[in-house]
Amino acid sequence: MIVTRVTTTPIAGMKPGTSGLRKKVAEFSRPHYVENFVQSVFDAVRPEAGFGGLTLVVGGDGRFHNREAIQTVIRMAAANGFARVLVGAGGILSTPAASCVIRAHQAFGGLILSASHNPGGPDGDFGIKFNAANGGPAPERVTDAIHARTLAITEYLTVDTPDLDLDTPGTRALGSLAVEVVDPVADYLALMQRLFDFDALRALFARGFRLRFDAMHAVTGPYAHAIFERELGAPAGTVLNGTPLPDFGGHHPDPNLVHARALYDEMMGPDAPDLGAASDGDGDRNLIIGRGIFVSPSDSLAMLAANARCAPAYAQGLAGVARSMPTSAAVDRVAQALGIPCYETPTGWKFFGNLLDAGRITLCGEESAGTGSDHVREKDGVWAVLLWLSILATRGQSVREIAESHWATYGRHYYTRHDYEDVETEAAQGLMEHLLSRLPHMPGESIAGRRIVLADDFAYTDPVDGSVSKHQGLRIGFHDGSRIVYRLSGTGTSGATLRVYIERFEPDPARHGLDPQTALAPLITLARDIAGIPAWTGREAPDVIT
């Protein structure tokens, strides 16, 4: 095997976002694009002794360009001196499963090829991110080093070999590199069996419990078929859209009430199943809907924390919990009642990693439909469904009964997120900069009868390593505990997405049955007017409401 050194030049724009580098497929298909970024990753994380004897995990969500990129990564791993590559059969590995495989096999790290919940297909999006030996997304100091290397790269290493068979499990050699094609489900399934009481869940389905899980033609299809239908005995047809497709069947694999509308409509219908759930492109997000009731991601995190003891893995209680700053404070009240710490972090799962590794938290989550625990270092959609099933099996109540009981105990945090998608980048940045300039003068002001007590640009000091992350979102808090948060998303590939988060606490059980958009209507208007959203963006209404 002859290693080839290919001369290259830096390509602008390779700065990883909240979870890796995401661009249009057309960008990743350009000559040297994948190679430049992968070599920059290898250069940034290379141990002093090199990669000899080390294992790299590789897999993705099956989207368009997945197979081609994996072949490139394998050749470059061989050229850069790795001893072994573990790749999911068919190029498939959900993001939480990749984290599981990295940890189970004590790998050096992994490259996950996905753009998460973004659309796929030849005109869609693609992405690559590096996960470290703990199984979690690379921390900011590493992604900063990767970005710096992309700006200085002069060559990449590869080998000139035919494509490898990615579909047949087994080990084949590529020079001194052992390429092992593995069952993408096996390690993950074994982990779930250790966390949950599968016998109790089988009994739940045997009693006639009905689940509808929409895999959205994304990566969780094989996992859902294996776990829900084959292992737990749910009837065939429980899993919808269970075959991963390069373009996700032409749909947007984001499990929200817009893109999973068919599931929502079924769950609101007269013959709705007991639990409706969905996951996204790479399997790390989840949607939870009960018969006649949608459970917001923020509420889901709080309810999972309050009932975690229903699963064997958490029967001894939780060390602590964490949420991203834009996520509602519902879980904070649960933590207070349980007498455990609750940490508020920036958006991005990597910020939970230090807390998990240090044993400070057991459960964590984000309002963007991600929840997880210390079992891996990624959010995990299928895990969230299994924990909900465990709670339903143990308590013998419906999703609605559990939600209403939770609100009666802790109060209800009415919460919504309004997304303005594909806004002109300059306009979105102008809005944020103008609002930022006004924040120092806001505390003490009253707007529409609400007194502002907090107005800042959120910054986070990691309690484990002391690292500081600034400019993580603009917060405006009012005297009654309600708040508005503004952020520009780091997950898009074109234009900018302005996210506006709106929250109000309601302690009165008699007022827990309102529609969130109704309950929050005055704050929604206030959020629009304070930032001048129509004037800056030309938008009178958001594109997506969750």
Nearest to 458 by CA among 475, 445, 442: 475
8 A C-beta contact, residue 207 and residue 182: no
For residue 271 the two structure tokens come to: 């013959």
Q: For tokens 């869940």, name the residue.
A: 201
- Give the phi and the psi of residue 514 in degrees, each rounded to 5: -75, 155
How far the first Cα of the chain sits from its last, in Å, is 52
CA 525 to chain centroid, in Å, comes to 29
Closest to 266 (Cα-Cα) out of 417, 63, 257, 539: 257
The H or E element spanning position 289 is: strand 286-290
Distance of alpha carbon 9 from alpha carbon 151, whole angstroms: 8
In whole angstroms, how far apart are CA 409 and each of 142, 334, 513? 42, 9, 15
412: closest CA among 400, 401, 403? 403
> Residue 350: what residue type?
K
Q: Which residues pair with 460 in a beta bridge?
A: 469
Among residues 19, 114, 116, 373, which one is catalytic? 116
Three-class SS of residue 172?
strand
DSSP for 38-96? Answer: HHHHHHHH--TT-STT-EEEEEE---TTHHHHHHHHHHHHHHTT-SEEEEEEEEE--HH
| Percent of the chain as helix, strand, coil, to the nearest 5 | 35, 25, 40
Q: Which residues on adjacent β-strands are paired with residue 423?
A: 496
Q: Return the residue matching tokens 């492109």.
A: 281
Quote the CA–CA distance of 139 and 468 in Å, as a whole number. Answer: 12
| Rounded Cα gap, residues 117 and 100, in angstroms | 20
d(CA 365, CA 376): 13
Handedness of CA 287, 289, 293, 299 (dihedral sign): negative
Q: Are 533 and 428 in contact (CB under 8 A)?
A: no
Active site residue 116: yes
Active site (catalytic) residues: 116
